[in-house]
A and B are shown apart, each in its own frame.
Chain A
Amino acid sequence: MYIIIAIIGIPVFFLLMFFIIMYNTLVGKKNQVQNVYGSIDALLKKRYDLIPNLVSTVKTYMKHEREVLTQITELRAKAVSGSLSEQEKMQLDSKMGKLLGGIMVAVENYPDLKANQNFLHLQSTLNEVEEQISAARRAYNAAVTDYNNSVEMFPTNIVAGMIGYKRKAVFEIDESERKNINVNKLFNE
C-alpha cells in the first residue's frame, strides 16, 4: 500500500515543486517588467513637470517657435490628464521627445536665452531626465528580454503556456528620434 503511494506520490510531489518554481520565476520576471515600466512612468512625469517652467522661460525669447511651444503645452495637458492607454502614452512620449529636441536645437539661434541662468538650469535638468528615461528604457528592454526568454525557453515555456503568458514588446527607437540624438550629441561635444 505504502509502496504504491510512494510510487505515485513522489513523482507528483516533484512535479508540483517543479511547477511552483517555474511559476514563481515567471511571475517574478513579469513583475520586474511592470516595476521598471513604473519607473519609466515616474520619469516621464518628472519630464512633464518641467515643461510649464521651460515653456514660460523660453516663450519670452523665442519668436519663431511659438507654434511648437503651444503644441508642447497641449501634449503635456493631454499626457497628464490620465485617461491614456499604454500605447498612446508611448506615442505621446515619443512626439514630446521630438518637439523638445527641436526646441533645444532652436535655442542655438538665441544667444540671450543661452545666457539665461534659469534656462541653463532647466536645460541641464532636462538633459538629466532624458538620460534617465533612456536608462529606464534600457532597463525595461533588459527586463522584457529576460521575461521573453523565460516565456519561450524550455522548460519555463510549458508553464508560461499553461498560465497564458505571452511575449512582450521591447521599446524601439524610431528613425527620427535617432536623428535627434545625433544632433544633440553634436552640440554636447
Chain B
Amino acid sequence: MKTIEELKAFYDSTLKNDLISLEDERKKIVNKVVLLNILCGLGIGLCAVLFFIFSFFVLIVGIPVIILWIILYSKITKGYVSSFKDKVIYRIIKFIDDNLNYKPNNCISMQTYMSSKIFRRNPDRYTGDDLVYGKLGKTDLVFSEIHSEYKTQSRSSNGTTQTHWHTIFKGLFFIATFNKKFKGETYVLPDVAQKMFGNLLGNLFQSWNKGRGELIKMEDPDFEKVFVVYGNDQIEARYILSTSLMKRILDYKNKTNKQIFLSFLQNQIFVAISYTKNLFEPRLFKTLLDFNMIREYYEDLLTAVSIVDELNLNTRIWG
C-alpha cells in the first residue's frame, strides 16, 4: 500500500493541475446555482404572497417552480459530477492500483447483493454507483456504493397514505474470491444481541436467529464480543475463520471503526461496510484545492481495497 506522503506527491505533481481547471468549473456552477436559488426563491416568495389572494394558485405555480429547480439543478451540476469522477476519483483509483477499473454509474447488481444473504429483506428501492473492479495479485475483487431500502405505508388520520423509506444497508459492498474452497455458508455479523442484553440473554437471542444455520461459538473471546457467527457446518466455519483470520477481521473492524457484515458463500467473501455519508461525490460548496479532501476520498477507497491485504486473501496455499 502507498503512503500518505506518496499520495501528497502524486497530488502535487499530477492531480493539482487538473483540479485547478475543475475548480474554475466548480466556481461557475456555484454562481449558476446561487442565481437559480435566488430566482426560485423569488418565485416561491411570489407564491406565498399570492397565497393570500387565492390559495389554489400556489399549487399551480409553486409545484412547477420546485420541479423546475430540481431539473435545472441536476442539469447544471451533472457535467461537473461526471468530470469530477473522471478526473479525481478515477485518478485516485489508478493511483492505488493500476489493475483496478472504474465505472462511476454502475453498481453491484441487486441479485448479487441478495445472493450474499447478508441482508435478507427484499429491498423496495435499490440504488448505487461507483463500481470498482479488478484483480489484485491472485484475488478478483469488485465493490461499489449501494443503498437498499424498504418502505412502509401508514394511513394518517385524514385518510391519506404516507410512504416511509427505511434504510436496510447504505455503504460499501465488497466481493472477492476467497483463498480457501468451501461448500457451505458462514456468516459473521455484528453482535447486537450480546452487546445489548449481556452474555446470558444475548446468547439466547442469538440462538433464535434461525435460517442462517446454527450459532457457532468461536474460541477468540475478543472476536466473540464484537461478532456473532452462524453457519451450516461448524467445522467448515472454523476452517474459513482460522484464528489468524479472526484476528485480522477484528483488527480491520477496529481500524475502520465501521459496522461490518461478512458472509462466505460459493468460494467468495462478501463484506458490507456501513457508511452514513454519500461516498465519492463532489462537494459543490467546498474548494477542490484541498489535499485533506483528496485524502478522504483516498482513504474511503482504500477501506475497500485494503480488505485484500488486511484479510490476507492473496495467500493461496490451500488446495
Which A positions have Cβ atoms within 8 angstroms of B?
36, 39, 121, 123-128, 131-132, 134-136, 138-139, 141-142, 146, 188-189
Contacts and interface: CB of A to CB of B under 8 A. Distances in A.
B235 A139 contact: yes
Contact of B318 (A36, A127, A141, A146): A127
Contact of A141 (B181, B219, B317): B219
A146 B235 CA distance: 16
A127 B239 CA distance: 12
A40 B93 CA distance: 45
Given A138-B219, A139-B234, A141-B219, A132 B239 contact: yes
Contacts of B183: none
A189 B315 contact: yes
Contact of B317 (A39, A124, A132): A124
B319 A121 contact: yes
Interface of B: 180-181, 217-219, 234-236, 238-239, 242-243, 315, 317-319
Contact of B217 (A123, A125, A142, A188): A142
A188 B315 contact: yes
Contacts of B239: 131-132, 135
Contacts of A135: 235-236, 238-239, 242
Given A124-B317, A124-B318, A127-B318, A132 B219 contact: no
A77 to B, nearest CB: 25
Contacts of B181: 128
B27 to A, nearest CB: 51
B235 A136 contact: yes
A79 B234 CA distance: 26
B109 to A, nearest CB: 32
List 5 A-B pairs, minimum CB-CB distance, nearest first: A135-B238, A124-B319, A135-B239, A125-B319, A128-B319
Given A128-B180, A131-B180, A139 B238 contact: yes
29 contacts: A36-B234, A36-B235, A39-B235, A123-B317, A124-B317, A126-B319, A127-B319, A128-B180, A128-B181, A128-B319, A131-B180, A131-B239, A131-B318, A132-B235, A132-B239, A135-B236, A135-B238, A136-B235, A138-B219, A138-B243, A139-B235, A139-B238, A141-B219, A142-B218, A142-B219, A142-B234, A146-B217, A188-B315, A189-B315
Contacts of B219: 138, 141-142
B181 to A, nearest CB: 8
Among B218, B243, B318, residue most surrounded by chain A Cβ atoms (within 10 Å): B318
A138 B238 CA distance: 7
B31 to A, nearest CB: 56
Nearest to B316: A124
Contacts of A136: 235, 238
B207 to A, nearest CB: 12
Contacts of A127: 317-319
Contacts of A125: 319
B138 to A, nearest CB: 13
Contacts of B180: 128, 131
A183 to B, nearest CB: 14
